[in-house]
Amino acid sequence: MLGGGPYTTESDNRGPFLTARRADVAVVGGGPIGLAVAWRAASRGMRVLLHDPRPGSGASAVAAGMLAPVAEASFGEEELTRLLLDSAARWPDFAVEVAAAAGLAGSAELGFRTEGTLVVGRTADDLAEARRLWSYQQGLGLPITALNATELHDREPLLAPRVRGGAHAPDDHQVDPRRLVAALRTAAESAGVVFVPSTVRGLDEIDAGTVVVAAGCGAAELTGLPIRPVKGQILRLRAPGGEAPGFRHVIRGYADGRSVYLVPRHDGEVVVGATVEERGDTTVTAGGVRDLLHAATELVPELAEYELVEAVAGHRPGTPDNAPLIGPLAGRPQVVVATGHYRHGILLTPVTADLVVDLLASGVPDPVLAPFSPDRFDGYRSAPGLTGPGWDGPELAEPGLAHPELANRELAHPGLAASGPAREEIR
């Protein structure tokens, strides 16, 4: 009965008893990447445990879910751009497979949308900044088409009249990360992944053929790798009257030198993101929310009438070069790392899961992983060993702002120390 499961029957002088069969793979971290690795591995017949006290409660709960390899392609990041494009190309099939495995009607139920992204600028300076980047992207052969103000307003009439120009990236799609996580959990459970709601404090606690560390910022403590939290504040608005938002494209814009993105969902939600702050707290600040709302309403004035339903902060796992860490840990081939995805965790989920599971099956890293080897920062190692102060689940997002049950609910939440730099950059 338990033959294929995680338990096996043994006996001692008191008779037979159940014991845990050693897992082939133990995944630490139940965000999209950990869940996708677990699901794919279990689907290939491996016995998989996934350790997370609160799956899906980390950065993915905060993320907007832009799948934007083109608009995210930056100067000097050709190798990362190739990985982003590779993963973006896998997304349509991945979304269909996840949805099917979760019993959903289709990828639309994950919030997967393919209208593409408009990159827009409001002032000459903003537009020049945007143009500089998309010219670079065009030079890489990426599909991005310049549009004048009339063409932009034809596509999205709600854009502010002062938006002067921009570009269309037709292949930059979107997904709803919260729906994605829910579906991946169902898919993983259906494939036989066993969820262990425990806190992993050191990798030596785990007995498995291979351990996959997909713990976001928490991977720093478990592996000593140089991963730092990069705070992001993000808002969720809702269109009035339960309607869908009045625009269809993801809109990335520059307003007064600040970058902001607006992600419309069919269910009426509009995600407005995000600050990029080099600090480890998760305080939702007056300045962060002010700047996001200002920039958003400068690009789409009608958003001023939308309901503000949530303001929240989370931590992106950043690395010294802000490219991910994917592959075996130096000298410990039984520990595979999949973290450090910074702002690209949702986009990179399919390619990361595929490459990690290939590695688990073959024991050999794909050459495409070479630039993302976890040992490329050996000089940066923050700790020599693998036993840090422990890991208490994924980097928890600040509970943030959302509708309480009562208006006069007393908020016991104390203010968190905001000791970081005062300047906040929105990207």
Site residues, a copy of itself (CB under 8 A): 54, 56-57, 61-62, 178, 181, 235-243, 268, 272, 283-287, 289-290, 293-294, 296-297, 303-312, 314, 396-411, 413-419, 422, 424
* Spatial CA neighbour of 360 closest among 27, 113, 75: 27
Nearer to a copy of itself, 183 or 357 (CB): 183
Give the span between the Cα atoms of 256 and 225, in whole angstroms.
Answer: 37
Q: Which of 181, 212, 171, 159 is nearest to 42 (CA)?
A: 212
Q: Which is nearer to a copy of itself, 89 or 158 (CB)?
A: 158
Residue 373: exposure state from Cβ atoms within 10 A (0-12, 13-18, ≥19): middle
Name which of 53 and 320 has its Cβ closer to a copy of itself. Answer: 53
| C-beta closer to a copy of itself: residue 76 or 414 | 414
Query: Residue 1 or residue 406: which is nearer to a copy of itself going by CB?
Result: 406
Sign of the four-CA dihedral 420, 271, 136, 75: positive
The Cα 226–Cα 374 span in angstroms is: 9
Answer yes or no: are the C-beta atoms of 94 and 102 closer than 8 Å: no
| Cα atoms found within 13 Å of the Cα of residue 200, Cβ hemisphere only | 33
Question: Please, which residue, 172 or 298, has the CB nearer to a copy of itself?
Answer: 298
**Residue indicated by tokens 């036993």:** 387
Minimum Å distance from CB 34 to a copy of itself?
Answer: 15
CB of 72 to a copy of itself, least distance (A): 23
Q: How far is the CB of 33 from a copy of itself (least distance, A)?
A: 16
CB of 398 to a copy of itself, least distance (A): 6
Task: Quote the least distance from Cβ 231 to a copy of itself, whole Å.
Answer: 13
Q: Which CB sits closer to a copy of itself, 43 or 285?
A: 285
CA angle (201 as vertex; 196, 202 as ends), nearest 5: 105
Residue 7 CA from chain centroid, whole number:
33
Orientation angle between helical segments 78-101 and 349-362, nearest 10 degrees: 90
The least CB distance from residue 279 to a copy of itself, in Å, is 11
Minimum distance, C-beta of residue 306 to a copy of itself, in the bound complex (Å): 5
In the complex, minimum distance from the CB of residue 264 to a copy of itself, in angstroms, rounded to a whole number = 13
C-alpha distances in angstroms, 426 versus 38, 120, 258, 323?
34, 15, 6, 20
Note whether 31 and 394 are within 8 A (CB).
yes
Shortest Cβ distance from residue 2 to a copy of itself (Å)? 33
Identify which of 2, 111, 21, 31 has the alpha carbon closest to the alpha carbon of residue 340: 31
Identity of the residue, 147 or 416, whose beta carbon is nearer to a copy of itself in the bound complex: 416
Q: How far is CA 77 from CA 167, 213, 323, 353, 371, in A?
A: 21, 25, 9, 21, 11
Nearer to a copy of itself by Cβ, of 169 and 396: the residue is: 396
